[in-house]
Amino acid sequence: MAEELFDIYDEQLRPIGTATRAETHARGYWHRTFHCWLTRREGDRRFAWFQLRQEGKDTNPGCFDITAAGHLAAGESVREAVRELEEELGVSAAFEQLIPLCRVREEASGEVNGARFIDREISDVFALVYDLPLAGLKLQPEEVAGVYEADLDQLIALFEGSLDEAPAIGVRLDGNTGNLTRESRSVKADQFVPRDPAYYVDVLRALRDCT
C-alpha cells in the first residue's frame, strides 16, 4: 500500500512540493490538516464530543483529541477533507453543514516508539452540530478507540486550569468484537493531545457560541 503524500510548505507557507507522511513528520515540513468538533445542545447545556486516539498512532497515541481530524492529501482541498467525518466516525455530512471556527498554526515534537517527529500543521477548524446518539457511530478501528462527550463549560474550565477533571460519557471500541461499549470516566487536560491550552479554550468557546 502506497504511503500518503502531503502538499508541503515553507515557513512562509509557500508550496514547496510534496512529501510522504513519514518524511513530513521526520523533517518538520508544514502541511495542512482538517479539524471538526461535533457538538450538541440539550436544553441550556452544550456538549462537545472528542475522540480517543488508538495506541498505534504515529503521533500522540492514546490521547484524547478533536472529534474528527486528518491531514489533507496532496492536491486535496479542505472541502474534500470533510470525508474524515465519514471515515473516522461514520458520520455523513456535507461541507455546507460545517461552521467555520478558525484557522490555526501549530508546532509540536516528540518521540513515538523510538522515532522522533516534528509536526508542523496549518489547520482549518470547523464545528458540526450533531444530534444523533454516540451509540450510532461507526468508528474507524485503525484510528479511533472511542468517542466521548462532556459539558462544554466544564471542558473550558478544564483547559483554563480552574477545574482538575471533568466527567465524560462515551463509547469505547471493543477490539475483539468491533462493538461499542458505553463508558463513563473523568478526563483531565493532560490526557488530551498536547497543544497550547489557548487552542482548546478558544475553539471550545467558539463551539459554545455556535450552538
For residue 202, what are the CA distances in angstroms to 36, 66, 76, 83, 125?
14, 13, 27, 25, 11
Q: Please give the CATH number for the structural domain made up of 5-209.
A: 3.90.79.10
CB 128, CB 173: distance < 8 Å: no
Q: Tell me how far the alpha carbon of residue 160 is from its chain's centroid.
A: 19
Residue-range domain boundaries for the chain = 5-209
For residue 112, what are the CA distances in angstroms to 30, 62, 92?
19, 11, 32
CA distance 189 to 147: 16
- Secondary structure (3-state) at 159: helix
Phi, psi of 42 (to 5 degrees): -135, 100
Average pLDDT per consecutive 10 residues, the chain (211 residues; last block may be shorter)? 88 94 94 97 95 89 96 96 97 97 92 85 97 95 97 98 98 92 97 95 93 68
- Secondary structure (3-state) at 189: helix
DSSP state of 207: H
Residue keyed to cell 468557546: 205
Give the per-residue pLDDT at 112: 74
Residue keyed to cell 459539558: 151
CA distance 168 to 180: 16
Give the per-residue pLDDT at 1: 58
Q: What is the DSSP string of 71-101?
A: EPPTT--TTGGGHHHHHHH-----GGG-EEE
CA distance 173 to 175: 6
Give the per-residue pLDDT at 164: 98
Give the per-residue pLDDT at 148: 98
CB-facing half-sphere around the CA of 90: CA atoms within 13 A: 13
